[in-house]
Structure 1
Amino acid sequence: MNQRAADDGLPDSARLAWWGTAWLQGRVGPDDVVDALLSPGDVPPLVLGDGPDDGPSPILVELAAARTAGATAVAASFPATGDPVGLRGPRALSAAAIEAGQCVLLLGIERALVPARVGRVVEWTPTPAARRPPLDLGEADRELRATLLTAADALAALDVARWRPEVADELMDLRSGTPLEAPPGVPPRCVDLAGRALRLWSVVDLALEDDGAAVSASEAAARRGALEPLERAVRRALTAACSPDAWPPAD
C-alpha cells in the first residue's frame, strides 16, 4: 500500500474520498478537510495544473471547481496490475493509478486525481476519467470475510506460526480492525469495513516482506498464493468503503 498517513494508516485517497465528500455535501467546513488530509509535518496538499502553464492550486480550490462542474462526491480506488478495481479507464488513468496504488474519482464529472508524495506535500495530478457503475458494498464485505477464512486456513496448513508468528497472532482475531475517524455522513458499516481492510492489508504486507522460513521456492510460492487473493479482497473492500456510490442510503 502506498502513501499511508502517519496516524491511522488511512491512505491519502481514502482520506480525500471521505472528507472531500463530506465537504461537497455541506457536512464539514474547509478547515476540517485540510486538517484531515495532513499528516504530522506535512504542508497542505496541492493539485497540479491541467496544462504546462498552469500552476498548482490548493485542494479546496479543486473541490470547489468540481462542485461547480457538478461533482457530488469523491470516491477512492485502490487498483493493482490485473485488477483495476473501481476504474473504467481511460488507459492513462488506469496506468497512473496502478503505479500509485490509488486515486480518487470526482463523481458526477469525468475527472480523477492521482496522488504522489513530494517531500512534505502530497501532489494530486488531474486526469480524465470514464464514468463507472456503482460498486457493491455488500459483495465486497462478503468477499473479504470469505477470502480471509480461506487464507487463514491455507496459512495454517503452511505452518504460518513457524515462519511468521506475528502474522499468526494477528489472524487469531478475525473481527478486529484499525480504529478510524470518519467525518459525518460516512456510514458506520463503511468505517468498520475500511478498518478491517486496513488491518488485514498490514498483515499481508508483513507476511510478504520476505519468504521467512521457506525451505523451497514452491513453499514460498504457496504462501504468496494464499495471500494474494486476500490482498485483492482487501483492496476491493477498501475501495467500496471509500466510494459513496456504494454506500447504503442515508437514514
Structure 2
Amino acid sequence: MAPALELPRSVLLALWLSAPGDPRRATLAVQGEDEPHVVRRGDDDVVPLVQWLTDSAAATEVGVALPVPGEPVAVPPPASGEATEAGECLLVARGDTTTVVVPRVERFGSDLEPGHLVRWTVVGVADWRPAAHAQVGSLEEAERALRDGLRQATEALVGLDVARWSADAADEIARVRDGALTPSRLPDRVEGQRLRVLTSAARLRAIVRLAARDDGGAVNLWQADQRATALREVDRVARRAMAAAATRLDRG
C-alpha cells in the first residue's frame, strides 16, 4: 500500500487560510494525528488553534517559508531564527499588519507510537511581502524547476555511480513514488497545478529523506559528499516549489 505523503504544518495552515471555511474542519486537517494545537498570541495569551482561526480576520495574503541554515530566507529578523530552527513558518498579511507564525513541535512517545505537541507563536514583523515576491516564483516556474532539479540530480548521481540504494530503501522509495496527499487534509477545490506541484514536491522530499539514510553505494568521502550535495539540491528545489504552491500574493 502506498504511503500518504506529508506536507509541513505551515503549508497546510497556509492552504486553509487561503480558502476560508469552517475553522473546525481546518483545525482537524492541520492537526492530523497531533495533539490539539495551541497558538501563542501574546505573553499570556495562548488559545486553541480553532479559536485563533475563528477570532482572526481574513488573511489578505499568505506565504510559507521552509528555511534551512545557510540559505537566504524571506522571514524578517525578529522571527527568522525561530523559523530556521523549526524549518518552516507561516507568513500572514491582514491589510497593513504582517506577522510570522512559527510552529514549535515537541515529540513524545515511542517510534511505534509517536505523538506531537504543537505550539504556534505569532510574531509581529516588518512587511515580509517584498522579500517573498523576490524569492517565490510562479507555479509554472516551480513546476519547471522540479523537473529540472530532479533531472540534474539524477544525472549527477548516475555519473558518480552512487545512485544505488539499500534493498529496504529501494522498496520504500518505490512505494513513495505511488504516494498521494490525503484529500481530507486539503481544502476543497485546490487547483490542479497547485496540487500537482505540492504532490511532486512532497514526493521528492520523502525520497530525499529515505535516500539520505545510507551512502547509496559511495565508496569514498568525496563520492559521499557529492551524493549528499545532489540530494540537498533536490530538497532545496522541492522546498522552494512547495512554498510557491502554498503562497498567495497580490502580484498586481
Q: What TM-score range do you get, normalising by the shorter chain?
A: 0.7 to 0.9
Partner of 1:147: 149
Query: Relative to 1, partners in 2 of residues 1:8 and 1:163: Cα closer, same or farther, differing over 3 Å?
Result: closer
User: Match of 2:64, SS?
Assistant: strand
Of 91, 103, 128, the match for 2:77: 91
Query: Relative to 1, partners in 2 of residues 1:157 and 1:236: Cα closer, same or farther, differing over 3 Å?
Result: same
Partner of 1:37: 30
Please list, as runs of the form range in 1=range in 2, the aligned pairs for 1:19-98 lying within 5 A after superposition: 19-23=16-20, 28-40=21-33, 42-51=34-43, 54-67=44-57, 71-85=59-73, 87=74, 89-98=75-84
Residue 185 of structure 1 and its aligned partner are, at CA, apart by 4.7
User: What is the total number of aligned residue pairs between the two structures?
Assistant: 232
**Could you tell me how far apart the structure 2 residues matched to 1:131 and 1:179 are?**
29
Residue 168 of structure 1 and its aligned partner are, at CA, apart by 6.5
**Could you tell me how far apart the structure 2 residues matched to 1:58 and 1:99 are?**
23
**Higher deviation after alignment, 193-202 or 129-138:** 129-138
Does structure 2 retain, via aligned residues, the 8 Å contact 1:103–1:112? yes
Of 103, 117, 133, the match for 2:89: 103
Query: Relative to 1, partners in 2 of residues 1:144 and 1:167: Cα closer, same or farther, differing over 3 Å?
Result: farther
Partner of 1:200: 204
**Could you tell me how far apart the structure 1 residues matched to 2:38 and 2:181 are?**
27
Q: Which has the higher contact order (CA 8 A, sep 6+)?
A: 2
Of 95, 100, 106, the match for 1:112: 100
Residues 143-180 of structure 1 show CA distances to partners (whole Å, capped at 9, x for unaligned) of 11101101111112222453446667788999866334
Q: Which amino acid aligns with 2:60?
A: T
Residue 77 of structure 1 and its aligned partner are, at CA, apart by 1.6
Q: Which amino acid aligns with 1:179?
A: L
**Could you tell me how far apart the structure 1 residues matched to 2:86 and 2:212 are?**
19
Partner of 1:131: 128
**Could you tell me how far apart the structure 2 residues matched to 1:151 and 1:164 are?**
18
Q: TM-score, normalised by structure 2?
A: 0.79
CA RMSD of aligned residues (A): 3.0
Query: Relative to 1, partners in 2 of residues 1:173 and 1:61: Cα closer, same or farther, differing over 3 Å?
Result: closer
Percent identity, please.
35
Partner of 1:18: 15
Residues 51-108 of structure 1 show CA distances to partners (whole Å, capped at 9, x for unaligned) of 2xx13112233334441xx6224432211123244x2x32231111111010001133
Q: Which amino acid aligns with 1:100?
A: A
Does structure 1 retain, via aligned residues, the 8 Å contact 2:212–2:228? yes
Q: TM-score, normalised by structure 1?
A: 0.80
User: Match of 1:162, SS?
Assistant: coil
**Could you tell me how far apart the structure 1 residues matched to 2:35 and 2:172 are?**
34
Gaps of 5+ in 2: 109-115
Does structure 2 retain, via aligned residues, the 8 Å contact 1:84–1:94? no
Does structure 1 retain, via aligned residues, the 8 Å contact 2:164–2:217? yes
Gaps of 5+ in 1: 1-5
**Could you tell me how far apart the structure 2 residues matched to 1:57 and 1:63 are?**
10
Query: Relative to 1, partners in 2 of residues 1:45 and 1:72: Cα closer, same or farther, differing over 3 Å?
Result: same
